[in-house]
Structure 1
Amino acid sequence: MSEAHLPLVTEWARQEGFCPGVGDAGVYRHTDAGGLWLGCLGEEPVGCVAGIRYDQRYGFIGLFLVRPAFRGRGYGVALWRHALAHLEGVACIGLEAAPERLIDYSRWGFVAAYDTLRWRLPAASRSRCSGAVLPRGYAVVGRAELAADAGAHDLVLAYDARHEATPRPHFLGEWLGQSNGTVELVRDDLGCCRGFGRIRPCLLSDGAGALGWRLGPLLADAPVLAGALLDRLCSERTGPLMIDAPEANPRAHRLLQERGFQIVGRTVRMYRGRPPALPQQDIYGLACLELG
């Protein structure tokens, strides 16, 4: 897939209700230059898929769709096989499945691990995302300081590596460095990272050109830290706010409910190979369902 195709694929994702973040597809492409494809009939694009290889231990399949007019003809299977071939030899492959596709993916050796819930904050509840106070000994580091302080950036990379299936410095560097997002880090008085989060504009399925906000990743050692990060990231934002959180973390469920978020969707995380052992209690929001 070339860079010129990214706006088209982003629009397809919007129409499917993925609510893609502005600039997300470019990050997929930069994470694994050979892992993003467009399926064409002659010169006509009909579908796409991402098969991102982080390393030999972990890969992820996402952004998998075929235009409605071309479904049922085997084009999706062709894209699917192409992504799997690219990930040949990877120890574990993950994906995020719609509930009605569980049987389909299980035939290829994928096993359900846990549900992922999509939460959306109505405008009427926006006032609840304010006023969280960090405990004594903690401070928030904003985007400007992260950009200027290589040490702070390395703290985020190290913290993220403890909460992911495999370290992803290239992806995270791209993700956090995008100019269309805001990043916040919580640091304790010893200088250690205790959580971080990012928010970016997204394209809503409600209507062409409609903008909202996607939160993620949101990781923290404790609910009070996650709440303070969430409130800072959401402050002064207009438009709908969305976050994807693993149902396996009940602390995320309580935190989002307290702030008035409502569940608007559900997908299922599936793996082929041994599932990664992740500290789910610290994961309040995923970066992106299309990248794992």
Structure 2
Amino acid sequence: MASHLRIRPLEMSDIPRVTAWARAEDFAPGAGDVAIYRHTDRQGVWVGWLGTEPVGCIAGIRYNAAYGFIGLYLVVPEQRGQGYGLQLWKHALEHLADLPCIGIEASADRLDDYAQWGFEPASPTTRWQRIASDADPESGGPLPTGLRLLAGQEIPAMAVQAYDAQREPSPRPHFLADWLQHPAGSVLALVDEEGRCHGFGRIRPCLLRRGEGWRIGPLLADSPTLATQLLAGLIHRHTGVVLIDTPGANPAATPLMEQLGFHPVSRTVRMYRGTAPAVSLADVYGLACLELG
């Protein structure tokens, strides 16, 4: 029988340890990711302790009164098989129990496990990789008439928030503001003459199991052509391993990744418990992060 875990909210001092755990599991955590998870829901990221020894973590983030997501779920290898993961899992589920929908990303070998808790598969998610070099073009070709490619502080934040809210499972203004304003990496947006957004994306440094690389996400655009424009701009000057996670619910994402020289390296499955979000993901070419959906 497992000893009882003391499960407490993640503190700032825990972030380096949790980031190292995520790196060892090949989650490829981005710079600043875990701190943003904590800021999105201060009571929604936890570390499990056996006495003075931390042994695992989980996130159960409430985006709003309608939607939450469970991720960053792990137990250190030497403590697995003793029920500590189950205690963390139940704690996160209880935190989100009153929400009409909860999402997770599941590996293929865990689908039956999560189904026992009421989760149903929705669509596959593919992680793609490409090695970027100085020879990559700076742009994806000429921009359509009336569109500008803006960077950093030039980007109209409210226009991006409105664009994202119409294309993601649930509005996430606090998370997105932290995500796009983080100093690590670069953010680009396509904006028309009236200030409306037609796509945006972020690239950030990440920690690979061995070495470092870059993760793109989110990446949203009106069309594959505009997604290509954003990808070219984001990848430019960011050499090395580049990762992006595409939702299977966007049928245009896979052919675009193949066309641009990415190759698949892993797959997971998006699952939901409750009423699955009705929003189309047809304009979503890259998820912000698998840990928070």
TM-score range, shorter chain: over 0.9
Match of 1:2 among 8, 11, 15: 11
Measured after TM superposition, the shift of residue 235 of structure 1 is 0.3
Flag as ranges the 4+ runs of structure 1 deviating above 6 A: none
TM-score by length of 1: 0.94
Kept after mapping to 2: 8 A contact 1:59/1:94: yes
Unaligned residue ranges in structure 1 (runs of 5+) = 147-151
CA separation in 1, counterparts of 2:16 and 2:152? 26
Equivalence for 2:136: 127
CA separation in 1, counterparts of 2:254 and 2:133? 19
Equivalence for 1:163: 167
What do the CA deviations read for 1:198-247 (whole angstroms, capped 9, x no partner)? 01000001x2xx21000000001111111100100000112100000012
Question: After the TM superposition, which residues 23-34 of structure 1 pair with which residues of structure 2 at under 5 Å, given as runs?
Answer: 23-34=32-43
**1:117 aligned to 2:126?**
yes
Equivalence for 2:195: 191
Higher helix share: 1
Equivalence for 2:54: 45
Equivalence for 2:6: none
Cα gap change, 1:128 to 1:267, in 2 (>3 Å): farther
Equivalence for 1:149: none
CA separation in 2, counterparts of 1:132 and 1:242? 22
Question: After the TM superposition, which residues 137-176 of structure 1 pair with which residues of structure 2 at under 5 Å, given as runs?
Answer: 137-146=146-155, 152-176=156-180
Equivalence for 2:239: 238
Unaligned residue ranges in structure 2 (runs of 5+) = 1-9
CA separation in 2, counterparts of 1:123 and 1:176? 22
CA separation in 1, counterparts of 2:26 and 2:134? 22
- The amino acid of 2:117's aligned partner reads W
Measured after TM superposition, the shift of residue 117 of structure 1 is 0.2
Kept after mapping to 2: 8 A contact 1:134/1:224: no
Question: After the TM superposition, which residues 1-292 of structure 1 pair with which residues of structure 2 at under 5 Å, given as runs?
Answer: 1-123=10-132, 127=136, 130-146=139-155, 152-205=156-209, 207=210, 210-292=211-293
Identity of aligned residues (%): 54
Kept after mapping to 2: 8 A contact 1:128/1:260: no
May I ask how many residue pairs the two structures share in their alignment? 284
Q: Secondary structure at the match of 2:74?
A: strand
CA separation in 1, counterparts of 2:139 and 2:24? 32
Kept after mapping to 2: 8 A contact 1:128/1:259: no
- The amino acid of 2:169's aligned partner reads A
TM-score by length of 2: 0.94
CA separation in 1, counterparts of 2:138 and 2:99? 41
What do the CA deviations read for 1:139-182 (whole angstroms, capped 9, x no partner)? 11111313xxxxx1000111110012221111111101100121
Cα gap change, 1:129 to 1:114, in 2 (>3 Å): farther
CA separation in 1, counterparts of 2:194 and 2:32? 35
Kept after mapping to 1: 8 A contact 2:128/2:265: yes
CA separation in 1, counterparts of 2:284 and 2:157? 19
